[in-house]
A and B are shown apart, each in its own frame.
Chain A
Amino acid sequence: MGSIFDILGPVMVGPSSSHTAGAVRIGLISTQLFGRRPGKATIYLHGSFAATGKGHGTDRAIVAGLLGMKPDDMRIPDSFEIAVAEGMEFTLAEKEIKGAHPNTAQIILEAEGAETMRIEAFSIGGGRIRVSKLDGIDVSFSGESNTLIVRNIDQPGCITEVAASLSEEDINIATMQVFRDKRGGCAVMVVETDQVVSREALDRLEGKEGIVNVTFLNVNGSIEEK
């Protein structure tokens, strides 16, 4: 259970904390993890998001989030028009995703000069969400804390490198999860931290052996990405 401001709050644009506010957060976290404004977004809605999404503005909410809006932004109802004006292409479709939570969205983000990112996330109510898949790898995090995402090759020593680098910066690890697609394949580390990881520290981390790229989600700021 969260704080009293999950009971009285959030301040949000209606009509639904799960289907509207949560959907904005899914869009926003996708853009934050992507690290830049996407040029093109392909959005798939599953389950209840597909069935009642239109009436709840779930479609407009996700696009609003992708544009960087927060759940209380009064421009959410106009997000389609704003996306067109700002040159973000988007398509929306329904999709049955096997075994997924009823309030799940799958988003594919593209931008010139950037690698395509695929993300899957679901809304758990009260405006809170969980990211469940990142570039095909199962993950699980809320984005409510500072979160360091490290994509690496699944080989010995990577976790030590990350832990040591954070320790050198005097950054405390709150939680740490590791995921991989297969032995020796692609792996993802999701590290929630008490402090903000500096850009320099991210750069140094990315230079380490076996680490493919690094993204940092700063809950109180904008995105830091390399």
Chain B
Amino acid sequence: MSFQSIEEVRARCEKENVPFWKAVQSEDAQERDVPAEDSWKEMKHMWQAMIDGVDAYEPGLVSRSGLVGKEGGLMEEYARTGEPLCGRYMAKVMTTALKMGCNNACMKRIVAAPTAGACGVLPAVLVTYYREYDVPEDRMIEAMYVAAGIGQIIANRAFLAGASGGCQAEIGSGSGMAAAAITYVRGGSFDQIGHACAMALKNLMGLVCDPVGGLVEVPCVKRNVGGAVNAMAAADMALAGIVSQIPVDQVIDAMREVGEKMDVSLRETGIGGVAGSPRGQEVGKNLQ
């Protein structure tokens, strides 16, 4: 049985005297009945696929609807030549998020993390860091385990699909996973990893899934930026010693409750939210 709560992960870590990522890895190896090295190899494959995905972006491509595709290139150029308000580093994080979101919409290869629509958040936070800081690749793969462990707990206690719980389940979860992962990379403690995740999830709680025309394009591509920037901020808060007053397991439970109360028009049906705006409906009609 996979982890049902972060407290279960903590118990395993304390019992076996292992770090967060190792507990997730041994649970995976046990559950799938494979050696730990095989699990590691597979995770390394996911990591490499993320890097390849970022590099495969083509600024000239647009999605078949014509709605998205160029955002990654525009942001990259601005990060290089302009004076981004968020600073150059954050502009790179935003660029990567947009590139992956555009790749997904343009039918290029991505890693669902936890979903295809949210595929930009984790690489934005992790791949950017890997490229800007001198950090061993193994540490990034360990961080991927931290992210996966958090994702699994969210899947077990709540949901990861927009149709089930709105965008908080997709971008929100991706943001919580990324916040936990980067906190680990920066040397955060077990508690800090949990706080970063909890804060990231709380900040996006209630986010609805309202894709225009039902496509994973508007507002999905840009929401990856929101998820990535939020993850960085949550990680920095946790590393500064700021704590979430609500424990992460309870935040996830609250997220579930919010998702269950969310009207169906706001859960990936393309009816409510910006999908239901006059312009959103007009775009939707033109697609048919």
User: Is the CB of B152 closer than 8 A to any CB of chain A?
Assistant: yes
In whole angstroms, how far apart are the Cα atoms of A15 and B107 in the complex?
A: 6
Interface residues of B in 149-180 (CB under 8 A from A): 149, 151-152, 155-156, 160-161, 163
User: A126 an interface residue at 8 Å Cβ cutoff?
Assistant: yes
Q: A4-B145, A4-B151, A5-B42 are in contact. List 6 more A-B contacts (CB 8 A).
A: A8-B112, A8-B151, A9-B46, A14-B216, A15-B216, A57-B107
What B residues does A56 contact at CB under 8 A? 214-216
Residue in B closest to A11 when the chains form the complex, CB atoms: B49
- Selected contact of B46 from candidates A8, A48, A74, A125, CB within 8 Å: A8
- Asked if A55 is at the interface (CB within 8 A of a chain B CB), the reply is yes
13 inter-chain pairs at a CB distance below 8 angstroms, sorted by A residue, are A1-B152, A3-B31, A7-B114, A8-B112, A8-B147, A8-B148, A8-B151, A9-B112, A11-B49, A12-B111, A14-B109, A16-B216, A60-B107
User: At the interface, yes or no: A20 with Cβ under 8 Å from chain B?
Assistant: yes
Q: Which residues of B contact A77 (CB under 8 A)?
A: 107
B108 at the binding interface (Cβ < 8 Å): yes
- Contact in complex: A13, B2 (CB < 8 Å): no
Which of B63, B64, B156 gathers most chain A CB within 10 Å?
B64
A10–B116 Cα gap in the complex (Å)? 9
Q: Mark A58-77, 1 if CB is under 8 A from B, else 0.
A: 00100000000000101011
Residue A104 lies at the interface, judged by CB distance under 8 Å to chain B = no
- Please give, as numbers and ranges, the residues of chain A lying within 8 Å of B216 by CB-CB distance: 14-16, 56
Taken residue by residue from 35 to 53, chain A's Cβ proximity to chain B (1 for < 8 Å, 0 otherwise) reads as 0000000000000100110
Contacting pair B46 A11 (CB below 8 A) = yes
Enumerate chain A residues within 8 angstroms of B145, measured Cβ to Cβ: 4
- Within 8 Å CB of B28, what residues of A? 3-5
Compute how far the CA of A130 lies from the CA of B160 in the bound complex, rounded to whole angstroms: 19
Bound Cα distance A219, B147 (Å): 27
Q: Which of B12-20, B89-97, B98-106, B242-250 contacts A (4 or more CB under 8 A)?
A: B98-106
Contact residues in A for B103 (Cβ distance below 8 Å):
14
Check B116 against A14 for contact (C-beta < 8 Å).
Answer: yes
Task: Report yes or no: B116 in contact with A17, Cβ–Cβ below 8 A.
Answer: yes
Any chain B CB within 8 A of the CB of A21?
A: yes
Let me know if A12 and B110 touch, CB within 8 A: yes
Closest A-B pairs by Cβ, 9 of them: A14-B104, A7-B151, A52-B214, A4-B148, A15-B216, A55-B215, A77-B107, A11-B49, A8-B148
Q: How far is it, in angstroms, between the C-alpha of A60 and the C-alpha of B115 when the chains are bound?
A: 20
Q: State whether A74 touches B108 (Cβ < 8 A).
A: yes
- List of A residues within 8 angstroms of B46 by Cβ: 5, 8-9, 11
Is the pair A4, B116 in contact by a Cβ cutoff of 8 Å?
no
Contact between chains at B109 and A55 (CB < 8 Å): no
